[in-house]
Structures are given as C-alpha cells and as structure tokens.
Amino acid sequence: MEKKLLNIAIASLIHDNKILLLRRNKPPFKGLWGMPGGKAEFGEHIEDTIKREIFEETGLNIKLKRILAVLSEIFFDTETQEDYWHSILFLCDVDIDDISKFKNSSEGDLEWFSLDDLPKTEIIPSDYAMIKQIVLQPKSTIDFYKIRMLTDGDKYTLDYFEI
C-alpha cells in the first residue's frame, strides 16, 4: 500500500449558528459529511490553499481570519496493520464574502447543519471531533492535536483525538 503525507486546509464555514458541510462523493470518506477543504499544491501557502479549495467546493469567496488548530492525522489500516496516510491539517477560521453564492460542486452536495444538532454518525469522525472540541470552543492560542483514524475498507473509526 502506498504511503502518503499531505498538507490539507479545511474550514469551518459558519453562519446563523449553522455549519456548511460537504457530503464527499469520492474516497476517502465517500458518503460522509465533512468540512470543505483540500490538499495544498506544491509551492502553495495554506492561505491560498483554503481560498482555492473553498471556492472550488462551494463557490464561496472567503478570507482567512486565523488558524484554529494544526492537527496531525494518521490513518491505520486494521487489515494490513499499517499506517498508510498521514495528513497535517490546518483548521481555518474564515470570513465569507457573500453567503448566498454557495453551490454544489463535483466534490459533493453541500448542506447547512445546526451546530446544536449535528448528525454524529454521518460526519467524518475526526471532523465531528474538530467541530465539537475546537470550532465550538475556540481558544486564543493555536493547539496541536494528534488524531488516529482506524480504517476497515470504507468504515472509519476515531481511535484517538488529543492535544
């Protein structure tokens, strides 16, 4: 199995106590809801990555306010007993220029979810943890988190999520 290391920027897009989530239509996490974002291209700064990815996935123009957290996420395959994917995630707090311009993309459907009533079983486990522990409880400092996801085919389980 090929091993990968990626830098990824994701954003919490919040409006009227709701968060905009994307139902992913391709692996990993196909069929699950998650925060929009994506991989940094070589030579691209994270601020440019988040602006590009949010526009591609939602049609929205955003401005980076700050980084909420940096997270090291490792995927462990329970069948092969190997780590195979390692992402450094930059969880971004952003301002949205015009909320009315959001649209679905080839990446998946978009939907606004109440922050008070998130569907835990339908959201990427690590994204759910990020929303609950970081987005809803922002700090003035940037914390570094460690995440381990267990994978079994297309099933994902959060093994740990810690500072």
Maximal CA-CA distance, the chain = 46
DSSP assignment string, the chain: ---EEEEEEEEE-EETTEEEEEEE-SSSSTT-EE--EEEPPTT--HHHHHHHHHHHHH---EEEEEEEEEEEEEEEETTTTEEEEEEEEEEEEEEES-GGG---BTTEEEEEEETTS--GGGB-HHHHHHIIIIISS--SS-EEEEEEEEEETTEEEEEEEE-
The residues with which 41 forms a beta bridge, in sequence order, are none
Based on the residue annotation, tell me whether 73 is a catalytic residue of this protein.
no
Which of 107, 111, 122, 162 is catalytic? The answer is 107
Contact between residue 20 and residue 99 where contact means Cβ atoms under 8 Å apart = no
Active-site positions read: 107
